[in-house]
Amino acid sequence: MEHRGRTRPRRRLPGLVRARDGRLQLLGERHPPCPAREPVRRGAGRAPDARSRVHRARRSVAPGRRPAAHRVHDLPARPLSGGLVTTTEWLVCDGCAAMIYGRRFARAGRICPECGWHAPLTAPQRLASLLDPGSVRTLELVVADADLPEFTDLRPYSDRLRDARARTGLAEAVVCARGRIDDNPVVVAAMDFRFLGGSLGTAVGEAVTRAAEIALRERTPLLIVTASGGARMQEGILSLMQMAKTSQALGQLDEAGVLTVSLITDPTYGGVAASFATSTDVIIAEPRARLGFAGRRVIEQTIRETLPAGFQTAEFLLEHGVIDMIRSRAELRATLARLLSVASRRPVSDDRAPAPQPAGPALITDADRLPERDPWLCVRAARRLGRPTTLDHVAMLVDGFDELHGDRSSADCPALVAGLGRFEGVPVVVIGTQKGHDGAELAARNYGMPSPAGYRKAARVMRLAAKLGLPVITLIDTAGAHPGVDAERHGQAVAIAQNLVLMAGLPVPVVAVVTGEGGSGGALALTVADRILMCENAVYSVISAEGCAAILWKDPAAAPLAATALRVDARSLLRLGIVDGVVPEPGEGAETDPVAASEALRAALAQTLGELLPLDQMTLVTARRARFRRFGSDTAVLVDPAAAGRPDRVVSR
Ligand SMILES: [Zn+2]
């Protein structure tokens, strides 16, 4: 296909055609049509004169003006052992049309230095860019062609396959390998869009499944790099079955506690998007990579509406809770190395397992050691804007924290943060509500009041902790779960209820710390733990003092009375056995010395985790359930006539 105005024939990727506006589009012959590339967002991260540079570049690529420049897509394929393409030629970015010097472009990992557009990588290039040099052990894919379906559209399928092989030097649209990322072992399956649009046929499905089986056998994390238009039509219903086959292989890795990560590259659509691309533990996408089930044009034709700019891009999907994070190529290796290292629970060089310490200054467990304070003053103190937030504590206490986003279905709640990292050298999952220090931060974080998507994100990350055997630390500072129309519509009550069940049975140590406000069910949904700690000025209550005053006193001004009656302060709650220990705060409160406050929390967490880490999961879960079972157990008896005469006739006492 010849692009208008070009002066010489040029190579292009299979499955790509050039639209009238000159942008590359996916050819719909082997897979569902994908949307045209989104217009590049101007402005972000660009120099003030970038726009004029773009225009200059565009003028310079006018027909006949610069025949030596190639489109970035036009770079030739490299052999399996090859690294990134280097060329001394000038290239034209497909994202912004700026001219790029080839060598600079290659050095940057095929990222446009002007607009950050990530040019496609072949599978061999991908493996070379991700894995430690010298660590790549390619798993040879031997494809049996004897039973090739005799499918012919405009051309016989066998011809298309033969051409794809000749053009790419690959046996199929995926290359699998063993390797290491920063010395962490990993099994990788990397798709190659050049090969029939990365379509999912039987051989691709088989290769991904076998890679998963190797990962399972060797208990090595699996990384899948996706680039695909969807299922391979020429192989018919057998292609569809690959979605089920690969998914069950990933399910087995779940059961075995082996980490799975997908890296979404542009484009990932159809059957790949709806199977192994999104059923992994952690979904990372490259900037602007598109991911979806149906392509943009299919949707637009169906609903007869124009979709918003950025639809189905990584940025859109992050906001809508579908993916965990976006990482540029420059950050990928470091991020993957951290995830692999945490998941393998490998000790780090400066590993310091929390040593059990006597209950001393780190944690106050005797209520009499705490001064008696007016609970209303505690309520006021717990709400001070200067108090360290969850992310403040994380920055102080957790090394290599990678935040995970989204509930995988509807949204990413900004009021709840969750992620993986290391505390005192020990891999942990940290989950917490997030407020802010000023009006803007509070508004951006929905005032620390999680939505159902927030609680579902927490649940997802807790399940990941259970799968990987990582202890969970929760930090709670919330006035409560968000009360609102949308929250109700999306099942706020159900989301909280499900967390209570989940946490009660979580087979890993769970430590909860109420660092500020512990507001009712919204706080409890993160507080069903083996040990519940409270900062000295924190409060924890069934309802806000104001709410209680309004309902029972019929007067919000009675809040101080309500606070006292509700016994919301740390001293009262320690005495009641609701909390197990109180974390001392520096000076007049955590906000007066946030660093010292975080250090006090560190000591308390280290002591508590030190007690819990040696315990097996049965001991943990049994004790946790007994801990909550006892609340109110002496207040009522349910007499069971069917059990009359038996010693257990009293069901509850
Ligand atoms: Zn660019």
Under 8 Å between Cβ of 495 and 486: no
Q: How far is CA 411 from each of CA 60, 180, 202, 456, 457, rounded to the nearest angstrom?
A: 43, 33, 34, 10, 9
The per-residue pLDDT for 259 is 98
SS in 3 state form for 179-201?
EEECCEEEEEEEECCCCHHHCEC
- How far is the centre of ligand 1, averaged over its atoms, from the C-alpha of 90 (Å)? 13
The per-residue pLDDT for 82 is 34
CA angle, 313 then 317 then 320, to 5°: 145
- How far is the centre of ligand 1, averaged over its atoms, from the C-alpha of 279 (Å)? 31
In a domain, residue 49? The reply is: yes
- How far is the centre of ligand 1, averaged over its atoms, from the C-alpha of 48 (Å)? 15
- How far is the centre of ligand 1, averaged over its atoms, from the C-alpha of 9 (Å)? 23
**Which residues in the chain come in under a pLDDT of 50?**
1-85, 351, 355-359, 649, 652-653
**Residues 312, 376 within the same domain:** no
- How far is the centre of ligand 1, averaged over its atoms, from the C-alpha of 60 (Å)? 15
- How far is the centre of ligand 1, averaged over its atoms, from the C-alpha of 227 (Å)? 20
**Residues 384, 533 within the same domain:** yes
In a domain, residue 56? The reply is: yes
CA torsion angle 330 333 334 336 (round to 10): 130
Tokens of 131: 């894995």
- How far is the centre of ligand 1, averaged over its atoms, from the C-alpha of 96 (Å)? 4
The per-residue pLDDT for 393 is 98
- How far is the centre of ligand 1, averaged over its atoms, from the C-alpha of 94 (Å)? 6
Which class for 9: exposed (0-12), middle (13-18), buried (19 or more C-beta within 10 A)? exposed
- How far is the centre of ligand 1, averaged over its atoms, from the C-alpha of 329 (Å)? 15
- How far is the centre of ligand 1, averaged over its atoms, from the C-alpha of 92 (Å)? 8
CA torsion angle 446 449 452 455 (round to 10): 120
**Residues 139, 171 within the same domain:** yes
The per-residue pLDDT for 346 is 65
- How far is the centre of ligand 1, averaged over its atoms, from the C-alpha of 99 (Å)? 8
In a domain, residue 11? The reply is: no
Annotated binding site: 93, 96, 112, 115
**Number of residues in the chain:** 653
- How far is the centre of ligand 1, averaged over its atoms, from the C-alpha of 270 (Å)? 27
Handedness of CA 79, 85, 89, 90 (dihedral sign): positive
DSSP 118: B
The residue range of the domain holding 314 is 123-343
Q: Could you give the CA distance from residue 406 to residue 250 in angstroms, rounded to a whole number?
A: 20
Under 8 Å between Cβ of 32 and 295: yes
- How far is the centre of ligand 1, averaged over its atoms, from the C-alpha of 274 (Å)? 30
Residues 6 or more apart in contact with residue 197 via CB below 8 angstroms? 14, 15, 26, 27, 30, 31, 173, 228, 229
Q: Could you give the CA distance from residue 484 to residue 488 in angstroms, rounded to a whole number?
A: 6
Residues 6 or more apart in contact with residue 390 via CB below 8 angstroms? 417, 430, 432, 433, 434, 475, 477, 515
**Residues 149, 264 within the same domain:** yes
- How far is the centre of ligand 1, averaged over its atoms, from the C-alpha of 313 (Å)? 16
In a domain, residue 620? The reply is: no
Helices and strands: H and E segment counts in the chain: 22, 21
**Residues 189, 331 within the same domain:** yes
- How far is the centre of ligand 1, averaged over its atoms, from the C-alpha of 39 (Å)? 11
Annotated binding site for Zn(2+): 93, 96, 112, 115
- How far is the centre of ligand 1, averaged over its atoms, from the C-alpha of 282 (Å)? 28
- Structural domains counted in the chain: 3
In a domain, residue 413? The reply is: yes
pLDDT tens figures, 310-340: 999 999 999 999 999 999 999 999 999 999 9
pTM of the model: 0.85
Rg over alpha carbons for the chain, rounded to the nearest Å, is: 28
Q: Could you give the CA distance from residue 525 to residue 512 in angstroms, rounded to a whole number?
A: 11
In a domain, residue 409? The reply is: yes
**Residues 388, 520 within the same domain:** yes
In a domain, residue 548? The reply is: yes
**Residues 475, 569 within the same domain:** yes
- Domain end, chosen from 107, 135, 168, is at 107
The per-residue pLDDT for 146 is 67
**Residues 253, 366 within the same domain:** no
Ligand 1 ion: residues within 5 Å (CB): 93, 95-96, 98, 112, 114-115, 117
**Residues 365, 279 within the same domain:** no
**Residues 335, 362 within the same domain:** no
**Residues 356, 327 within the same domain:** no
- How far is the centre of ligand 1, averaged over its atoms, from the C-alpha of 106 (Å)? 13
- How far is the centre of ligand 1, averaged over its atoms, from the C-alpha of 45 (Å)? 12
The per-residue pLDDT for 353 is 52
Tokens of 83: 């690294």
Tokens of 424: 């005192």
In a domain, residue 470? The reply is: yes
570: domain CATH number is 3.90.226.10
**Residues 100, 234 within the same domain:** no
The per-residue pLDDT for 18 is 40
Under 8 Å between Cβ of 123 and 176: no
- Domain end, chosen from 107, 135, 153, is at 107
- Domain end, chosen from 305, 323, 343, is at 343
- How far is the centre of ligand 1, averaged over its atoms, from the C-alpha of 276 (Å)? 30
- How far is the centre of ligand 1, averaged over its atoms, from the C-alpha of 238 (Å)? 39
